[in-house]
Amino acid sequence: MLKSSKSEKETSQILVELCWEYRFVNADTARQYGINALELARKNGFQEEEVQALHNIGITHEAQGNYEQALDF
């Protein structure tokens, strides 16, 4: 998890962005960022970040050809 003076909302947004940027570089790393963003968003009720994290996690699965898992997200 990112450690800084950033708010939890900013941290969740950064994690969502990292997930997106890493999706084709390293899907496993991207997915971990996405899962962390998803957990943080759900914990704090950040609906927009939750939706973005779910979408991005799905994209990481799609990038690896895991279409069933992609559809789950």
According to the model, what pLDDT value does residue 73 have? 87
**pTM, two decimal places:** 0.85
**Which segments of the chain have a pLDDT < 50?**
none
Please, where are the H alpha helices in the chain?
Answer: 8-22, 27-44, 47-63, 67-72
The pLDDT value given to residue 4: 57
Tens digits of per-residue pLDDT, 4-24? 557 999 999 999 999 999 998
pLDDT, residue 6, reads: 78
Closest CA to 55 of 37, 26, 44, 4: 37
3-state SS string for 21-33: HHCCCCHHHHHHH
**Which pLDDT belongs to residue 3?**
57
